[in-house]
Amino acid sequence: MKLKYIIYAFFALISLEAISKPIKNRKPNFIIIYTDDLGYGDIGTFGNPVIQTPNLDRMASEGQKWTNFYVASNVCTPSRAALMTGKLPVRIGMESYKRRVLFPDSKGGLPESELTMAEILKMNNYQTALVGKWHLGHLPQFAPNNNGFDYYFGIPYSNDMDRAKGLTYESMFNPKIEDYNVPLMRNSEIIERPADQNKITKRYTEESIAFIKKNKDKPFFLYLAHSMPHMPLFAGKDFKGKSKRGLYGDVIEELDWSVGQVLKSLKDLHIDENTYVIFTSDNGPWKLFKEQGGSSGLLFGAKGTSYEGGMRVPFIVWSPKNLKPKVEMKMGSTLDLLPTLCSIANISIPPNVVTDGYDLSPLMVHNKDINPRNEMFFYHATDLFAARLGDYKLYYLKNNPIGYPEKIEKLEKPVLFNLSIDPSEQYDISKNNEKIINEINELVMKHKASVKAVKNNLED
């Protein structure tokens, strides 16, 4: 057992209500659906003109669509570390230039000292499950079951890893299952290798619904972390060849079907009114792969960059009877989900757990006209790439807007954009806005002073 469990165990005492209480007296259920490399412009409600996503569109119309929502990193591993801990990944050694993400031969992972969202909820009598991609360390000490999840079904890292020797870039466009020896796991057991990725979205969906049904009478947290639409793309037989957008569209439309199945199960079990469902992505689209990559819509940049297209993601939250439907234009981040969900569930975060997140529940649930998050820091590995304050985003570095290969260079002078007027980041307004630049620079100085050097967990 982790030492942190012993230290924080007493916090479970604050939530000892019987699990058999009527649903209206129970803590709410939480489901986070986290897609992999889905871009800002890849679903209907965020502007895609050809990919059909009726379930997500309905989810947005019945719930809330947030248009200024950010992840904390532009690639997989650090983004997921931030979601789980509420901390900027640079604070916990989960950002690096040497290795941007964890690989099958990596020896590191999410620091064992960190308390995850799942651990906090589990301490408060939640049943917890991860279905899908983990990517925070494949060794036993870093595994989901050692980070607060009662149940795990999925793959330990990205679906393009453990690839066959000599595999070329071009082969990614016509992939074979046997080219990627990725294990499919149930808890600590490998049940299939290589994972049949043509069936993986369907299997994730089935496992998720089984967990929901099993725990319908208890508060639960389900983290459904789809491994699609990360390249290489695989779609189920019922979806392949159906979308006007080609294979990428097939994959997105299957993900939309999965969302619909999850929402239907909640309604069939009559627990939809006590459940919050969140849909988002871990970073922007992988434009390196052209038509088999996604779209960042009107945003500039892509996965692997800290431009808007790399870190602003679609975000939808749905909960009948609990949320007023709206389009929310104020800022939010996956960093905020840990404190927000704890607040909604009336759970106290241990006092020595300090996050970079804000409690968004006053804005999200109680409709107060406030802006808990008014700033955002954009890192590329361990360097601060840009900072946003209010509507203004100031850049200190530049990069290849496609992200791969990266080309990080220091700007001769910072450039400034008003994202409210210019979300595509086309018009530098730094010349006549010295006051705003000074305000952001002062904010950045204070922020940098708070970031201490820590052991890097990605470089081993």
Catalytic residues: 76, 135
- Backbone phi and psi for residue 444, each to the nearest 5 degrees, phi listed first: -65, -40
Q: CA-based diameter of the chain, in Å?
A: 63
The values of phi and psi at residue 231, to 5°, are -70, 140
What is the rounded CA–CA span in Å between residue 144 and residue 131? 10
Question: Is the four-CA dihedral 7, 10, 15, 18 of positive or negative sign?
Answer: positive
Q: Which residue type is seen at 412? A: E
* DSSP output for 60-122: HHHSEEEEEEE-S-SSHHHHHHHHHHSS-GGGGT---SS-SS--TT----S-TTSPPHHHHHH
In one letter, which amino acid is 319? S
What torsion, rounded to 10 degrees, do the Cα atoms 6, 8, 14, 18 define? -50
The rounded distance, in Å, linking the Cα atoms of 287 and 303 is: 7
The tokens 């290489």 sit on which residue?
Answer: 232
Q: How far apart are CA 184 and CA 77, in angstroms?
A: 18
Q: Which DSSP symbol is given to 436? A: H
Q: Kindly report the backbone phi and psi dihedral angles of residue 2, in degrees, each rounded to the nearest multiple of 5, phi listed first.
A: -65, 145
The C-alpha atoms of residue 337 and residue 360 are separated, in whole angstroms, by 8
CB atoms within 10 A of CB 125: 18
CA–chain centroid gap for 43, Å, is 16
* 57-70: b (≥16 Cβ within 10 Å) or e: bbbbeebbbbbbbb
Closest CA to 276 of 340, 209, 369: 340
Residue of 242, 254, 245, 287 lying closest to 56 (CA atoms): 254
Distances in whole angstroms, Cα of residue 358 to Cα of each of 96, 189, 341, 373, 444? 25, 37, 11, 6, 18
Query: By C-alpha distance, which of 253, 226, 247 is closest to 51?
Result: 253
Q: Give the residue among 383, 355, 401, 399 at the shortest CA–CA distance from 444.
A: 383
